[in-house]
């Protein structure tokens, strides 16, 4: 088990279509984060899972975006009715978190989503 794995690495979709982006975190990491990054900008927070539950989804831009982590491991970010403005690199990160612990986050290589 290497690092955080994201699939696909690239996704091109048509405006209005539905897409799913997958994240396989490092085994045993309880915390999982989704970010998106537009060209020339820093990563923008979307959602944070602690185990199976979303502990903080304040960064999801609207109700077209949804993420799940049903078994506390793999997570899927789902985007409905995609728009051209959703084009970005979507990054996933995982870390060991818990009461009193403060550890580094490990990021995947990202999925580059292009909506045409």
Partner 1 sequence: DAKTTQPNSMESNEEEPVHLPCNHSTISGTDYIHWYRQLPSQGPEYVIHGLTSNVNNRMASLAIAEDRKSSTLILHRATLRDAAVYYCILRWGAQKLVFGQGTRLTINP
Q: Does 25 bind partner 1 (CB under 8 A)?
A: no
Q: Is the peptide bond before 103 cis (omega within 30 degrees of 0)?
A: no
Report if residue 44 touches partner 1, rule: CB under 8 A.
yes
- What is the closest distance, in whole angstroms, from the C-beta atom of residue 108 to partner 1 in the complex? 5
Task: Please report where in the chains the tokens 């612990």 appear, as a residue.
Answer: 101
Among 26, 32, 93, 115, binds partner 1 (CB under 8 A): 93
**∠51-49-17 over CA atoms, to 5°?**
125
What's 9's DSSP letter? Answer: S
Q: How far is the CB of 45 from partner 1 (least distance, A)?
A: 5
Query: Which residue in 27, 41, 62, 70 binds partner 1 (CB under 8 A)?
Result: 41
DSSP string, 23-91: EEPPTT--EEEEEEE-TTS--EEEEEEETTEEEE-TT--STTEEEE-TTSS-EEEEE-S--GGG-EEEE
39 binds partner 1 (CB under 8 A): no
CB of 17 to partner 1, least distance (A): 25
- Rule CB under 8 A: say whether 32 interacts with partner 1: no
- The least distance separating partner 1 from the CB of residue 89, rounded to whole angstroms, comes to 9
Q: Which is nearer to partner 1, 45 or 66 (CB)?
A: 45
């Amino acid at each position: 088990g290497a690092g955080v794995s994201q699939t696909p690495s690239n996704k091109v979709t048509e405006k209005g279509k539905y897409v799913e982006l997958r994240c396989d975190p490092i085994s045993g990491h309880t915390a999982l984060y989704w970010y998106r990054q537009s060209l020339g900008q820093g990563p923008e927070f979307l959602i944070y899972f602690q185990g199976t539950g979303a502990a903080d989804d304040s960064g999801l831009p609207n109700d077209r975006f949804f993420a799940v982590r049903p078994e506390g491991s793999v997570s899927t970010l789902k985007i409905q009715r995609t728009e051209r403005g959703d084009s970005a690199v979507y990054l996933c990160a995982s870390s060991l978190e818990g009461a009193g612990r403060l550890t580094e986050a490990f990021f995947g290589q990202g999925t580059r989503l292009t909506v045409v």
